[in-house]
Amino acid sequence: MNRFVIAEASRCIGCNTCMAACATAHKAAGLQSQPRLTLTKTEDISAPVLCRHCEEAFCARVCPVNAITQDAESSRVVVDEKSCVGCKMCALACPFGAITPSGTSTAGVAGVKTMTPTFSKSLDPMLAWEIGVRTVAVKCDLCAFNPDGPACIRVCPTKGLVLVDHETLRRANVIKKKNNAWQGSGMPIATALATFKERE
């Protein structure tokens, strides 16, 4: 199973700190400064959406130039920004909506003056285009360039982002099964968990 970052919606306060840290870390590494996660909000909750590094990576399957690959050692799904042609097929294929097309604007570049269209902030990046800008696929890479791991996890003020791996999921399933078993017995959860800890 692959590792990925997941958000606990109950802890997310929608502060956008994770997006800012992601953009800053990647820009410092010479990559697109577009955040690799997107904050989604409803009336009641908010939570960032990130790449799940799927074992059956549909984004990699549809890429016409093999710019998206699965790293054999870590099983991370990675995008080679130099090879990407910006066709947006991967963003369409992603079941989580975790890939965002993005490009560095030519505005302010010496000697470049083009009439670029302006877009509403609400316009989906899939529909936006800008003259002279090369768009590439941008998705979570688990900050592979940083030995400290994903920047978003380190800066979250509520500890709402968690790096999930096989062992984390296994432990969560054990606790979930025990909770369900104790709920069926009519015993309060707190008592059940205390009893479970005593038996370990």
The pLDDT assigned to 108 comes to: 47
What's the mean pLDDT when you consider all of the chain? 81
Residues 6+ apart with CB under 8 A from 126: 88, 91, 92, 101
176 has pLDDT over 50: yes
Which residues face 41 on adjacent strands? 46
Q: Three-class SS of residue 180? A: helix
pLDDT at 148 exceeding the cut of 70: yes
Q: 3-class SS at 126?
A: coil
Q: Please tell me the predicted confidence (pLDDT) of residue 167.
A: 79
Span 9-49, pLDDT tens digits: 888 999 999 999 999 999 998 888 889 998 888 888 898 99
Distances (CA, A) of 87 to 9, 17, 42, 66, 100: 32, 30, 30, 12, 12
Q: Are strands 100-102 and 4-7 parallel, antiparallel or unpaired?
A: unpaired
Asked whether the predicted pLDDT for residue 127 surpasses 60, the reply is yes
Higher pLDDT, 123 or 102: 102
For the stretch 69-110, pLDDT in tens is 988 777 889 999 889 988 899 999 999 999 988 876 555 444
The pLDDT of residue 193 is above 50: yes
| pLDDT tier for residue 191 given thresholds of 50, 70 and 90 | low
- What does the buried/exposed string (b/e) look like for 161-199 if buried means 16 or more CB atoms within 10 Å of the residue's CB? bbebeeeeeeeeeeeeeeeeebeeeeeeeeebeeeeeee
pLDDT at position 156, please? Answer: 94
β-pair type (68-70, 4-7) = unpaired
Q: 67 Cβ partners below 8 Å, 6+ apart? A: 79, 80, 81, 83, 84, 85, 137
Residue 66 burial (CB < 10 Å; 0-12/13-18/19+)? exposed
| CATH 2.40.40.20 given to domain 4-108+121-164 | no
Cα gap 1→120, rounded to integer Å:
39
- What band does 129 get if pLDDT is binned at 50, 70 and 90? low
Domain ranges in the chain?
4-108+121-164, 165-200
What would the pLDDT profile of 153-173 be if each residue is shown by its tens digit?
Answer: 999 999 999 888 877 777 877
